[in-house]
Structure 1
Amino acid sequence: MNSLPHPSVPPAGTSSDFPLPCFPTWHLPPAVRDYVIGEATASQTPDAVAATLVLGVCSAAIGGKVSIAARPGCSQPSNLFVAAINDGTNHEASLFTRIRRPLEVIEMGRVNAARSVQAEEKSRLRQAHLRLRELERDFARPQAFALAKEIADNPLLPVPRLILDDSSTAKLSTVLAQQQGHIARFSGVAAVRELLAGSAAQSNLARQELYRKAYRGESITLDQPGGQRVALQQTAITCVCAIPRSAVEGLHKRPQQSRGVTDCFLLAMPKSKLGQRKIAPPAVAEACNQQYATLVQDLIAIEGHATLRLSDAARHSFEAWEAEVETMLAPDAPLASFAAWGDNLTGNTLRIAAVLHCIRQQKEGELPDTDVSAETIEAAIGIAQFFLAHTVAALQTMQNAPPKPEPQTPPAASDNRSPVPTPADADQLLPNNESVDQQQSASPTKFVAPAKPLLTEGSQPDWAASPKPLSMNPGQHVCTSNTSEQPPPRPGRPPRKFRGKPVGSGKRKH
């Protein structure tokens, strides 16, 4: 087995310039390898972004239908929590939309097909309620009880749903109850606030616990409006996120009371290609698009539940990988600071192996073979090694603030500055060696007569005149001065509280 040496993991406190490995596309099955490379070339984004999102879409297609067991007592469901950290450009947003497009097309087709069935079921339910009211009005208790039980046992089927994205206002618990505990969450920057940043609020903690239980495939009992409780078996939530790099780098500002469900995620943080993108790259071949869409349709069409098991050679390789990961969890090892995430790494490796096995065993609507080969588990370990290095680098970015640019100090003052000229130096600068006084006497200043005549004897300036006495005119309630230029009277009647009283009279109301 190609073991991952410890130096490949970014050491604590390293900068974002630490070289991270590229995504091993050679480990992907041919059915998706060509599509990943084609989409990465067409969008001019790293291969890791497209590969991570494709793995998430395929995991969502088989979520809740396939599980994998390495040995008795060690099994994992097939749903993944993956996130691709990118630059947040339009190229990457379009890439995210195209990769999940097959799921949206299948969901739209199911909704259109269920529209007529929904109309019939609603009509049947209304007729049953009307019949129940007639029986209750006639006091036909045995028939009313039987009809009420029949209505309760045959509720209205919900609209089929595969995707829950950021634009949806539906509550996660309600959607899980309607879809029998299986849903795929596609998110962008909202995933940082809800899934990665976390919060200590009670409502957010309850939502995080719901994500964790569905990640582990546990049974959940949900409270619904009206006092109803819905019991779900083997729940499965698949999270596929495309997160801007700036949002991840800003997580260090939040108090680390909770980091959400970060320990469940496989993060890919490839190097940016901005400034190096090609203009007018070739588009994805139509054959690759059709092959990828057919693959997703075949995985969605799987019915029933299958439990995959490792062959002897695959189990030996996986146990060697488990031993290697365990050494990384030691106090002085690379994963010591991220023990919760490292503890889930081997389980996520099994989930990747289940997704790769289902892609290789592509059969329309049929369950895959239950034996997982050593080649598949080796490919899953190789992909897990890629996510190990990238996730550790991303977690360090979330915890540590980016380095601030060093302030630029002003240049030191040189000692060759010209001294301040003295009067003696100024005399030397004048022509013909004349002094300043001689230059001023040579050009006498011309006298300019003032525009206003000066004060005559016995007169006073305007500002020295005594102020004019003020007088109060009670009839007009206006303070006027003894001058002919009086302001016009106030139009209209004065306010009620001032009628018949001078301004300022009376007690002030508090």
Structure 2
Amino acid sequence: MALGAETLPTTWQEPIPLNHQPKLPAFPTWVLPDWLRDFVEALTEETQTPPGLAGTLSLAVLATAAGGRVVVQLRGRWREPTNLFTVVALPPGNRKSAVFSAMTAPLHAAEKLLMSEAAGRIAEAEVTAKMAREAADKAAAQASKAEGAERDGLTAEAIALAQAAESLEVPVKPRLLADDSTPETLTTLMSEQGGRLSVMSAEGGIFDIIAGRYSGTPNMEVFLKGHAGDWLRVDRRTRDENIDEPALTMGLAVQPDVLKDIGQNRSFDGRGLLARFLYALPESLVGYRKSDPDPIPDHVAARYDRTITALTLSLAEWTDPAVLRLTPEAHQALRAFDQRLEPQLRARGGRLAHITNWASKLVGASARIAGLLHLGQHLEDGYTQPISGDTMDAAIEIGDYFTTHALTVFDLMGADTTLARARILLAVLEDNGWESVSRRDLFAKLSRSEFPSVGDLEPVMALLEEHGYLRTDTPPRTGKRGRPPAPRYLIHPQVREPKA
């Protein structure tokens, strides 16, 4: 309710600068499974890095192990896969590479084991296929030399041998990980791997590749569909590639400037690529780091490596994904989260209105995280048990963490139009030197390209009021009939002061 003139305070507090950002929360490591929490916290201590770096990467590691092999059943036909797109941004000198290497090491170990186990089958299949092709070629050569009825019989035999040779498939080398691959290469790799793949990189070069560094044309189809799990078909000159249920995971550790750059690429935002990432912008510890931190205990590191490797191998051979269901308590927790989130998406005054594309995916992303935490808590038989309410609460806490960080990241990328308009409006107030102004008079001074309608002023004025630059003054109503008096805006004295 707006303040009446008689209740307005007579003094003004110092306004809060528009570029002021609240202190972002630390990653809630306490909600991770104990074996993962212990390693993340120990790695954070040893490397003297913020917990958001290892914490965010830990989710991408779990998603690499489970993506394409497990889905979460929410309601009706709504299912969420367990692959994730994550990106954590820190300035240079924050030891991103050291943390990245430690977090992903067991994935590389699992990939090598899968390759080693498949090597014998691949070699046998290659020899068998080679012999079948040679037999078909020999039969074709004999048929070409024969005549009459003998030729017909040998031709039929050659055709049968050729068809048999063609039907033999040589297994491809198992792959879990890719780095800065082109979209075309990624599509081929995902097709070969049954739709499952993870792009893990300690750099941001993949965004340049998506933007068309090599092709000259942005190509993000495999990323969009790989995140959502939508059917992907690509027609090549040499073959067709069909992926029924793609499951692409991305775990990136980049510099903040990379986020600024991708925010300038309107095709990323327009196609919805930016809305698919979970963003973390942890506070740098450079200048405050210990010179002699505690090392990671051997048993903690060994347990982490062993657990990630075992989880990855146990799910590697699954063709049909396991379906994780929710307990009634988990359903209720997710429903309450959805109800809390929905009003924040409103175009007028919603906290998340300017990042609706991102925030509208948050319930699904939290469900994905819940599935990953559940698998990490029930390593032997997670697919046989439903997700508990406590696990869903933990996932929602992580979702709230990413929400707060996303607000700052999208501001960094220039996506917060309310904040941008507030800066424009503040400049107009400074130029005109009003003590107070009506909404109508203020709107007359504004560009229609920035403020198409009077309604566009509402969230901007609310933001300036929150920051202390103005107050809403609603005159008292003098009669029972007619419209109530239009409010006026009282302007902070500092805004009216001449600028040196």
Aligned to 2:341: 325
1-side partners of 2:284 and 2:188: how far apart? 38
1:397 is aligned to 2:412 = yes
Instruction: Name the counterpart of 1:179.
Output: 193
Mapping 1:357-368, distance limit 5 Å: 357-363=374-380, 368=383
Structure 1 residue 349 corresponds to structure 2 residue 366: yes
- Structure 1 106/211 Cα, relative in aligned 2: closer, same or farther at 3 Å? same
- In structure 2, how many angstroms separate the alpha carbons of the residues matched to 1:88 and 1:66? 36
The alignment status of 1:154 with 2:171, answered yes or no, reads no
Is the contact between residue 160 and residue 179 of structure 1 (CA under 8 Å) also seen in structure 2?
Answer: yes
Change (3 A) 1:137 1:181: same
Check conservation: 2:94, 2:285, Cα contact below 8 A. Answer: no
Q: Counterpart of 1:376 in structure 2: which amino acid?
A: T
Out of 294, 303, 317, which is 1:282 matched to? 294
Preserved CA contact (<8 Å) 2:352 2:359: yes
- SS state of the match for residue 399, structure 1? coil
* Residues 107 and 215 (structure 1), Cα distance of their counterparts in 2 relative to 1, 3 Å cut: same
* Aligned: 1:294 with 2:310: no
Match for residue 375 of structure 1? 390
Q: CA deviation at 1:342?
A: 1.0
CA distance in 2, matches of 1:59, 1:208: 20
Question: 1:84-163, aligned counterparts within 5 Å?
Answer: 84-89=88-93, 91-139=95-143, 140-163=154-177
Code of the aligned partner of 2:172: P
Q: CA deviation at 1:400?
A: 7.1
Q: Measure the CA separation in 1 of the matches of 2:389 and 2:94.
A: 40
Assess, with a 3 A threshold, how the Cα gap between structure 1 residues 97 and 336 changes in structure 2: closer, same or farther: same
1:191–1:241 CA contact under 8 A, matched in 2: no
For residues 395-454 of structure 1, give each alpha carbon's deviation from its aligned partner in whole angstroms, at most 9, with x where no partner exists: 110117999xxxxxxxxxxxxxxxxxxxxxxxxxxxxxxxxxxxxxxxxxxxxxxxxxxx
Cα deviation, residue 216, structure 1 = 1.1
SS of the equivalent of 2:19 reads coil
Shift of the alpha carbon at 1:203? 7.1
Is the Cα contact below 8 Å between 1:79 and 1:238 reproduced in 2?
Answer: yes
Who is 2:206 aligned against? 191
Report the Cα distance in structure 1 between the residues aligned to 2:415 and 2:373, rounded to whole angstroms.
Answer: 35
Percent identity between matched residues is 26
Q: TM-score under structure 1 normalisation?
A: 0.71
Q: Is the 8 A contact 2:49 2:94 kept in 1?
A: no
Deviation at 1:14, TM superposition (A): 4.6
* TM-score, L = length of structure 2: 0.72
CA contact 2:199–2:251 (8 Å) conserved in 1: yes
| Residue 334 (structure 1) aligns with | 351
Q: Is the 8 A contact 1:251 1:399 kept in 2?
A: no
Between the aligned partners of 1:178 and 1:278, the Cα distance in structure 2 is: 46
Please say if 1:235 is aligned against 2:246.
yes
Match of 1:485 in 2: none
Which residue is 1:268 aligned to? 280
Counterpart of 1:438 in structure 2 is: none
What stretches of structure 1 of length at least 5 have no aligned partner? Answer: 1-11, 404-510
CA drift at 1:71: 1.2
Between 309-318 and 344-353, report the one with greater CA deviation. 309-318
1:441-452 alignment, distance < 5 Å: none
Q: Distance in 2 between matches of 1:121 and 1:201?
A: 35
The residue matched to 2:88 in structure 1 has which SS?
strand
- Structure 2, unaligned runs of 5 or more: 1-15, 144-153, 421-500
The one-character-per-residue Cα deviations of 1:150-173 (angstroms, maximum 9, x if unpaired) are 223222111111100127998111
Q: How well do the aligned residues superpose, as a CA RMSD in angstroms? A: 2.6
Structure 1 201/137 Cα, relative in aligned 2: closer, same or farther at 3 Å? closer
Q: Return the letter of the residue paired with 2:92.
A: G
Deviation at 1:145, TM superposition (A): 2.4
The answer to which structure has the higher helix fraction is 2
* Cα distance in 1 between the residues matched to 2:207 and 2:38: 30
Distance 1:341 1:286, change over 3 A: same
Query: Cα offset for 1:117?
Result: 3.4
